[in-house]
Chain A
């Protein structure tokens, strides 16, 4: 599936704002942001069921999202914290079943 995440790697300082981008060329309805930490399952941060709509997932605190266009789903960290050091995956699906994942963004907050 055509999913592009940017950046692929980022190192930022505590307290700075960060934006992660996800772009799809598949025209899938659902888009998701997950974080993956060692020894833990993927955890859903926020998701969107369509253009202009977003909803909270399991771990939304400290994050915001926007989906102004169907192809793009942005994840924002208003003030990055060391606890937000993680690998972030964007995923898309059409039927809210099988999901296709982007290559991930490795974020380090120092």
Chain B
């Protein structure tokens, strides 16, 4: 079957760095997405990786290893507004998104 695993909850300190991991098992693979979702709001797109390696976008970076079925989202210089859920999703061979349950990130002052 198809499956996405990510931690349920993480806590970090304002100004610090946090890495959110995601492992996936899908029928075929056409890319890995990260979305941010604040409580009560819609998910918003953060990043898309289809090739191995690190993609950097400001304070946020995303890494992909296709051979390991693994990705992570790295958030630097954490701010209180980064408190949100982070959703990992893999695009399978039918171009359907398979979603993880999300990682709730709590930022403490």
Give the interface of A toward B (CB within 8 A): 39-44, 57-58, 89, 96-104
Cα–Cα, bound, A43→B31 (Å): 18
Rounded to whole Å, the gap between the CB of A9 and the closest CB of chain B is: 11
Q: How many A-B residue pairs have CB under 8 A?
A: 42
On chain B, which size bracket covers the interface?
Answer: 20 to 34
Contact A104 B31 (CB under 8 A): no
A residues within 8 A CB of B31? 97
Residue of B nearest to A34 (CB): B99
- If A41-B101, A102-B42 touch, does A97 touch B48 (CB 8 Å cutoff)? yes
Q: Please report the C-alpha to C-alpha distance between residue A104 and residue B31 in the assembled complex, in whole angstroms.
A: 25
Q: Which residues of A contact B96 (CB under 8 A)?
A: 44, 57-58
Residue of B nearest to A38 (CB): B101
Q: Which residues of B contact A99 (CB under 8 A)?
A: 45, 97
